Structure 1
Amino acid sequence: MTRASRDSSVLIVGGGTWGCSAALELARRGFTDVTVLDADAIPSPIAAGNDVNKIMEESAPSETDSDELYVWNRMHEVATKAWRTDPVYSPYYHPTGFVMAASTDVGAPHVENYIQTCKYPVRRLETPDDFRGTMPDGVLTGAFPNWKGFILPDKAGWVFARDALESAHKEAARLGVKFVTGGDAGKVVELLHSDSGDVQGAITANGKTHRADKTILCAGANSDALFDFEKQLRPTAWTLAHIQMTPEERETWKDLPVLFNVEKGFFMEPTAATGELKLVDEHPGYCNILRDRKTGVERSVPFARHQIPLEAERRARNFLRETVPHIAERPFAFARVCWDADTPDRQFIIATPPRCSSLVVAVGGSGMGFMLMPAVGKAIADTLEGVIEPRLKKGFRWRPETAVDRDWYDPQGRYGGGNKVMNLATIEDDDWTRIGERSMQSKS
């Protein structure tokens, strides 16, 4: 790949978490001609980062790390510094701590491995009282059946995702990045290819051609529809819901550690703005597997929906009954399907594909892309400039050999939900929630 110079024109396809982070980093480095295209205003209603909170874990590399572990720890180190000190990101990081647990022999080895490899001191939790004691009286009232785990009292917590995304967007725009968003003007329908196959920009739905010296494709789960990733990307969705908390509960539930059972789900403290508690039922994910009528090829096709399958609601409420039964039957105030894209090894792809020397793809968040948002922006800029660390370059390389004969239903080390990837295409319309559509009793 020919290295980009600071006066190169750069087109970023996708204005979500990674697109805004990359735009900000390039602007800070002195790139003067950067344009971001997105079909929606930022933050997009379908962007994974348009969320009230995301888990954040701190770490740093050591000399004994394997190449794979080094990549994660190095990215966590860079991200941690930004979440702690960068004025664009630091107001949104809440290092409140982290509780992790499992309930069966299936998830227990994952929790034990975390304990053994964690670089910071943890305290084991063995009894229901141990778990209840991690939060103020009256918060955790459940029986915690068969729960075993630990608490990491600091060096972890959560970030206010939506505000962090908006902050990066605002600062990038202030520094001169041009954002073309909303409707046909920002919606990319195809990449612009030269006769040799290289990428020279993109075409939007209004028919306009956007040419650039360098193009960055970071459109999340939708990237797979714009470029052939040779099965390296699997658009995968998770399900989340919100519960409205009372003013008294909001005060009691402030500054809570994240509560995460690798087989059941997780929640964090209610948002300050609305007092809504976000909860997620844990599972290996949903795909929307459809077969192309012309080619016969199956792929997962993302779509937006502000409802969740009733089976996801049942899982979420079962998690609440084990932890906070006093609010477990409360109506959901909001729910949605949230999309990301998994690589076969759940490692990011930040690289230049073969025969596309003017393109950088930054894809494959694999459920961990937001916590590393600031580090990803730097990695994208380093790749564009040809200065990325060799071990990171190796870890983030274009690697279609990992996707040969890929099983779209591989759970990839995730638990819960029957320990299998589920297919949204098989769920009938009557088997979805109707939050906000009509009054209905819980079908849990």
Structure 2
Amino acid sequence: MAPSKVTLDSTILIVGAGVWGCSTALHLARRGYKHVTVLDPYTVPSAIAAGNDINKIMEHKELKDSENSPRSVAFTTCTRAAFSGWKTDPVFKPYFHETGLIVSGHTPALVEHIYKDEIEPSVADYVKLETAGDFQKTMPPGVLTGDFPGWKGWLSKSGAGWIHAKKALVSAYTEAKRLGVNFITGSPQGNVVSLVYENGDVVGAKTSDGVIHRADQTILAAGAGSDRLLDFKKQLRPTAWTLCHIQMTPEEVKLYKNLPVLFNIAKGFFMEPDEDKHELKICDEHPGYCNFLPDPERSDEIRSIPFAKHQIPLEAEARARDFLRDTMPHLADRPLAFARICWDADTPDRAFLIDKHPEHPSLLVAVGASGNGAMQMPTIGGFIADALEGHLQQELKHVVRWRPETAVDRDWKSTQNRFGGPDAVMEFQTIGETEWTKVDVKSRL
């Protein structure tokens, strides 16, 4: 069945009002599309969206000519565009802080990996950090008080920093709405329970209030939740990470302002405290958690099924505190002010998945951010709109295509080139009810 031709008068339905859904809505509205509707079970910003976060790392580095793998070139193309968007687009510019980035490891093997994978292929300028003193000098006295045992790293002073993801997401949503996009959010009216099929094609989506939202074109951009709405042939693995906040004093907030991001690829990372609640976010680094359960549709298979929780496993808290003991031991025992698990969806090769479905020509999938979705916010919607219109640039099209052949006999527990924790994908099913933090977050939700 041939899809209807996409015109500015086409009705377009976007499932998901997270980072990619809102970015797509904004770009379609800017191109003059008149009938764009977005569905999401939560108001923007969703309490469970990965993009509802006080900060995310933003890093752009150009590759040397020798680093020309298709995935690297495609990712660099996307990130170059996003970096330009963060610098120039008035919707996003206020929320990018180009403070620099330190990437580091604490074992010889990790340091060698960073050099070969991050530093050597890049044309960016880096300052090498070899001692605790080197690390401490990257920030004002009194910030990095740790001994940095075994740590070595590199500081990039430009082309990197952090974004206030939540405020940028709300900004994109607000502008898209101003330009005429119709957002239907909250449950039941925005909660999509299924795609709607007719004559072999997708003709819209059904929400839990029984309403069928028909559209000429449907874009599935529901992040880790996309896997429950479509058979992705094992191309998506919902994977979760863990983050926590500690309360800082007004004096500490001033001291910690405009710091470079400090990232250890196997320990964790932090960025400056947020200006609203004066909280410092710390993430422990690891290959991720999955929630493996029997696949309800294929009894011989398992699936990772996302769930929302505003707590983290005690083992994750312990790892975050271990990171603090290495870097800022004066904060290592401070109580947590906030904690949550944060879901994304990994493709087998960690390249994005943005393509028309081969069997349903009016369905476009825009998923598989693989841990790199928020930084793409200013421009990923433009690439998704290009794919909808059928003219996605060639260096991207092949890499982000529908590619179930990459997921044949997929190892669901692959670490996918991530480090930290037990150096293995962990399972929420093994975490007992008493093995979670008990942070009081009710007033936050």
The verdict on a shared fold, with TM-score over 0.5 as the criterion, is yes
Deviation string, structure 1 residues 344-396 (Cα, Å, up to 9, x no partner):
00000000121111011000010001101222111100001111101111111
Distance 1:195 1:3 in 2: 17
**Corresponding position of 1:171:** 175
Note if 1:316 corresponds to 2:320.
yes
- Helix, strand or coil at the partner of 1:319: helix
Match of 1:346, SS state, is: coil
Give the distance between the partners of 1:430 and 1:61, measured in 2 at CA.
46
**Residue 335 of structure 1: which of 336, 339, 346 is its match?**
339
Q: 2:153 aligns with which of 149, 152, 156?
A: 149
Distance in 2 (CA, whole Å) between partners of 1:105 and 1:320 is: 21
Counterpart position of 1:103 = 106
In the alignment, what sits opposite 2:15? 13
Cα pair 1:62 1:70 within 8 Å, conserved: no
The TM-score, its normalising length taken from structure 2, stands at 0.96
Write the distance in 2 (CA, Å) between the matches of 1:406 and 1:253: 43
Is the counterpart of residue 27 in structure 1 residue 19 in structure 2?
A: no
The answer on 1:371 being equivalent to 2:389 is: no
Bigger drift between 354-363 and 371-380 goes to 371-380
- Tell me how far apart the structure 1 counterparts of residues 69 and 191 of structure 2 sit (CA, whole Å): 41
AA in 2 matched with 1:281: D
Deviation readout 1:98-126 (Å, 9 max, x if unpaired): 00101123422331021112221001000
Matched residue of 2:374: which SS? coil
Instruction: Pick from 302, 306, 310 the counterpart of residue 302 of structure 1.
Output: 306
For residue 191 of structure 1, give the secondary structure of its aligned residue in structure 2: strand
Which of 191, 195, 215 is equivalent to 1:212? 215
Tell me by how many angstroms 1:61 deviates: 6.3
**Contact persistence 1:101–1:111 (CA under 8 A):** yes
Is 2:384 the partner of 1:380? yes
Report whether the alignment pairs 1:389 with 2:393. yes
Asked whether the 8 Å contact 1:61–1:77 carries over to 2, the reply is no
Question: Among the aligned pairs, what percent are the same residue?
Answer: 55
Per the alignment, residue 423 of structure 1 pairs with 427
Could you say if the C-alpha distance between residues 281 and 170 of structure 1 is closer, same or farther in structure 2, counting changes exceeding 3 Å? same
**Equivalent residue of 2:282, what SS?**
strand
1:71-110 deviation digits (Å, cap 9, x = unpaired): 0111111101100000001000000000010112342233
Aligned-pair Cα RMSD in Å: 1.3
Distance 1:228 1:125, change over 3 A: same
Partner of 2:240 in structure 1? Answer: 237
Deviations 1:31-78 (A, max 9, x none): 000000000000000000000000001234676533222101111111
- The residue identity in structure 1 corresponding to 2:438 is R
SS at match of 1:110: helix
Kindly provide the CA deviation profile for residues 123-163 of structure 1, in whole angstroms up to 9, marking residues without a partner as x. Answer: 10000100111100000000000001110011100000000
CA distance in structure 2 between the aligned counterparts of 1:364 and 1:124, rounded to whole angstroms? 33
Instruction: Give the SS at the match of 1:77.
Output: helix
Q: Is the 8 A contact 2:89 2:378 kept in 1?
A: no
**Alignment counterpart, residue 277 of structure 1, candidates 269, 272, 280:** 280
Instruction: Give TM-score scaled by structure 1 length.
Output: 0.96
Amino acid at match of 2:148: F
Partner residue in 2 for 1:37: 39
Q: Give the Cα separation in 1 of the matches to 2:324 and 2:334.
A: 10
Q: Is the 8 A contact 1:13 1:218 kept in 2?
A: yes
Distance 1:342 1:294, change over 3 A: closer
Correspondence 1:76 to 2:79:
yes
Check the 8 A contact 1:3/1:384 in 2, yes or no.
no
Partner of 2:439: 435
- Cα displacement (A) at 1:295: 3.0
Distance 1:119 1:361 in 2: 33
Aligned partners of 2:310 and 2:441 also within 8 Å: no
Q: Does 1:287 align with 2:294?
A: no
Letter in 2 for 1:151: L
CA distance in 2, matches of 1:230, 1:109: 35
Q: Does 1:200 align with 2:203?
A: yes
Aligned-partner Cα distance in 2 for 1:299–1:135 = 43
Q: Which residue of structure 2 aligns with residue 441 of structure 1? A: none
Instruction: In structure 2, list runs of 5 or more residues that go unmatched.
Output: none
Aligned residues: 437
Decide whether aligned partners of structure 1 residues 300 and 8 sit closer, same or farther in structure 2, where only a CA change above 3 A counts: same
Which residue does 2:192 correspond to in 1? Answer: 188
Distance 1:57 1:107 in 2: 19
Distance 1:243 1:67, change over 3 A: same
Report if the CA contact (8 A) 2:63-2:123 is conserved: no
What's the counterpart of residue 260 of structure 1? 263
| Maintained 8 Å contact 1:349/1:361 | yes
Please give the alpha-carbon distance, in whole angstroms, between the structure 1 residues aligned to 2:253 and 2:190.
39
> What is the one-letter code of the residue matched to 1:201?
G
